[in-house]
Amino acid sequence: MTSISIRIAGAHGDGVESSGALIIKVAARIGLHVVAYRGYGSIIRGGHCWYQVRIGDSQLRSYGEGIDILIAINQDAIENQKSHLNDKAVVIYDPSKVKVDSLDAGKYKLVPIPLLDIAVAASGDPIMRNTVALGAALKFIGIDIAVFNDVLKGQFGRKGDNVVAQNIKAATGGYNYMGVQTLYTLKGDGKHRYALDGNTALSVGAYAAGCKFYSAYPMTPASSILHWFASHEDKGVMPKQVEDEIAAINMAIGASSAGVRAMCGTSGGGFSLMVEGLGLAGMLETPLVVVESQRSGPSTGVPTKTEQGDILFVMHASQGEFPRIVVAPRSIDESFKLTADAFNLADKYQLPVIVMMDLYLSEHVETVEGFDVDGVSIDRGKIVTENADGGRFKRYLITDDGVSPRAFPGSKGLEFVAGSDEHNELGDLVTDMYAGLDWAIDVRSKMHSKRMRKIETMLKNEKIFVPEVLNDGADYFLVTFGSTTGPALDAIDILKSKGKNFGLISFNYLMPLDKEKTKNMLQGKKLINVEGNYTGQLAQMIRMNTGIEITKSILKYDGEAFTAEGIANEAIALTNK
């Protein structure tokens, strides 16, 4: 397997992100594999940002530790990125703007190109300097300029032939510049792959499941879900930007109560505001999908950096007890599939399902072979449209499986009031004037256990609430959830190449958990939990459910995403002790 990491670095407003997106498109088009991730801050112009695109000739699951080709747009790019350069890295820069004195010329291949001059000659517009640099970078990795030209046509076609021609001229100028040569050969398999980030896959998954309503307040890294719904409003979905996250969740509950599949989304800070609403969905037994994309906390934390520090919070958020499902997609592919599944689970068990993302999963782009669109089915659960028995409708009928028949407003004869107070089968409150009466105590107890019984029903009906074990006979196992799984898989390959036999136990459902099965899967194995937080929240969750204590941990809470190399190095250090 060959892989090359190209990093373009500059200031916010320099077009770093759109340049990265162009490289991804080129690679995905000719059947190469990509993992791309960007680093940025809460600033619109200025500051420092980068976009790293790792391109490989077989599947990649992490964004790569070092830089093979650096496109340095400004001086900061050299100073901030030089510690990440691999040996023999190519550094592309404009000598009129950037000095490379601080780099060891013997260690790296320094490639000065008059990016601005070529851009101005091609178009009169210095902004095309990035395109010149991209042309050069593509030559270094042996990609035909014709592919780039096609992508530029697709990208700028709407702006007219002249803009396309200028871009192509700029790209060709970089591609053919003297000293620019092909150093690496990346051969694609010709299959044009999808390239998208986790939030996009999640949004399409929700759309495929028939989600019609998405309410949110802008918050990184969940905002792009709102943007997705807003830009697809013509496809029959309704985005609703609201005044705060309290409104977001309560409006979604209202929409769901009316019978529409509804979702809301936010990050940890917004989820804190949603907590009371989450309990309302639990009490009203209203199906609801909530996205929580984690970022570094607590409080405002590091708004543009990743973390996995919210899982215990989300699993226990709200006063009182009610069943909920917490799902943590492990990949872009699962962001689509498990979000689509979340709507069925929410409807079948009439409860909130929380989809745990994190900034890395929400925002990093991967190439994906395909999505199981045909596998998306829609199961609305126990919906009734007619009153079979006469009399008042028992919305909260006490059943063996804990799930009661559900009706939507507009259904004649099925009128009921859904109450956040404890209620009887009809929805009438047993609190206020009846609190403490013997029969009311009895109703409370029966109704609470009816709701909680849904956990047993789910565990019995669904086979999903266990982790996945890979390489069962391994000497050691990395234990992961969510987005950390990808880098851990790549780490296992690295470890194998160094003679270490590692397996993987990864969770995509965190709650509920089949305790017995999970315990049997974990017992007797040497485990190392790998998670993006300080306290080892996954390990705590495992211990709480199985009694198994994991004593070796790889933890990261600096805001950066896990890399395969980083995990492998720590795993070696831990197992050599």
Partner 1 sequence: MTDVNRSPEPAAAAKPKQVLTSGVKQIWCPGCGDFGVQAGINKALSDLGISKENVVIVSGIGCSSAMPHPFSTFGVHSLHGRLLPVAAGLKLANDDLTVIGTGGDGDGYGIGVGHLIHNARRNVNITYIIMNNEIYGLTTGQASPTSLFGAKTKSTPFGSIENPENPVGIALAAGATYVARAFSGDPMHMAEMIKGGIQHRGFSMIDVFSPCVTFNNVNTYDWFRQRVYKLESVGHDPTNISSAMEKSIETEKTNWEKVPIGLFYRIERPDYAQLDMTLRKGSLLKQPMPTKQQVNEILDEYK
Residues of this chain, 327-366, that bind partner 1 according to CB under 8 A: none
Residue 409 found at the interface with partner 1 (CB under 8 A): yes
Residue 147 found at the interface with partner 1 (CB under 8 A): no
Segment (H or E) for 70: strand 67-72
Residue 277 found at the interface with partner 1 (CB under 8 A): yes
Residue 244 found at the interface with partner 1 (CB under 8 A): yes
Nearer to partner 1, 48 or 240 (CB): 240
| Phi and psi, residue 475, nearest 5° | -75, -40
Give the CA dihedral 210, 215, 220, 225, nearest 10 degrees. Answer: 20
Residue 150 found at the interface with partner 1 (CB under 8 A): no
| Rounded least distance, CB 189 to partner 1, Å | 15
Which regions of 297-361 does DSSP assign to beta strands (E)?
A: 325-327, 352-358
Binding mask 413-442 for partner 1 (x = CB under 8 A): xxxxxxxxx------xx--xx---------
* Stretch touching partner 1 by CB under 8 A, among 251-259, 464-472, 525-533, 550-558: 251-259
| Rounded least distance, CB 561 to partner 1, Å | 21
* Stretch touching partner 1 by CB under 8 A, among 13-21, 82-90, 196-204, 314-322: 196-204
| Rounded least distance, CB 430 to partner 1, Å | 11
* Stretch touching partner 1 by CB under 8 A, among 129-137, 163-171, 371-379, 568-576: 371-379
Binding mask 2-41 for partner 1 (x = CB under 8 A): --------------------------x-------------
Using left for φ > 0, alpha for ψ between -120 and 50, and beta otherwise, residue 162 falls in alpha
C-alpha to C-alpha distance for 533 and 568, rounded to whole angstroms: 18
| Rounded least distance, CB 250 to partner 1, Å | 4
Report the chain's C-alpha Rg in angstroms: 26
Q: Which two tokens stand for residue 194?
A: 């999808």
Residue 282 found at the interface with partner 1 (CB under 8 A): no
DSSP 92: E
| Rounded least distance, CB 322 to partner 1, Å | 14
Residue 373 found at the interface with partner 1 (CB under 8 A): yes
Contacts 24+ apart (CB under 8 A), 123-126: 123/166, 123/167, 123/169, 123/170, 125/166
| Rounded least distance, CB 19 to partner 1, Å | 18
Nearer to partner 1, 251 or 357 (CB): 251
Q: Which two tokens stand for residue 160?
A: 């007219």
CA atoms within 13 A on the CB side of 319: 3
Using left for φ > 0, alpha for ψ between -120 and 50, and beta otherwise, residue 525 falls in beta
In this chain, which of 42, 410, 435, 439 binds partner 1, going by CB under 8 A? Answer: 410
Residue 385 found at the interface with partner 1 (CB under 8 A): no
Q: Are 528 and 474 in contact (CB under 8 A)?
A: no
Beta strands 238-241; 325-327: pairing state: unpaired
| Rounded least distance, CB 289 to partner 1, Å | 14
Residues of this chain, 520-559, that bind partner 1 according to CB under 8 A: none
* Stretch touching partner 1 by CB under 8 A, among 69-77, 273-281, 346-354, 554-562: 273-281
Q: Which amino acid is at 178?
A: M
Burial code (b: 16+ CB inside 10 Å, e: under 16) for 80-101 equals bbbebbbeebbbbbbeeebebe
Q: Are 156 and 163 in contact (CB under 8 A)?
A: yes
User: Which residues here bind partner 1, judged by CB under 8 A?
Assistant: 28, 192-196, 200, 204, 207-208, 210, 212-213, 215, 232-238, 240, 242-244, 246-248, 250-260, 262, 276-277, 280, 284, 371, 373-374, 376, 378, 392, 408-421, 428-429, 432-433
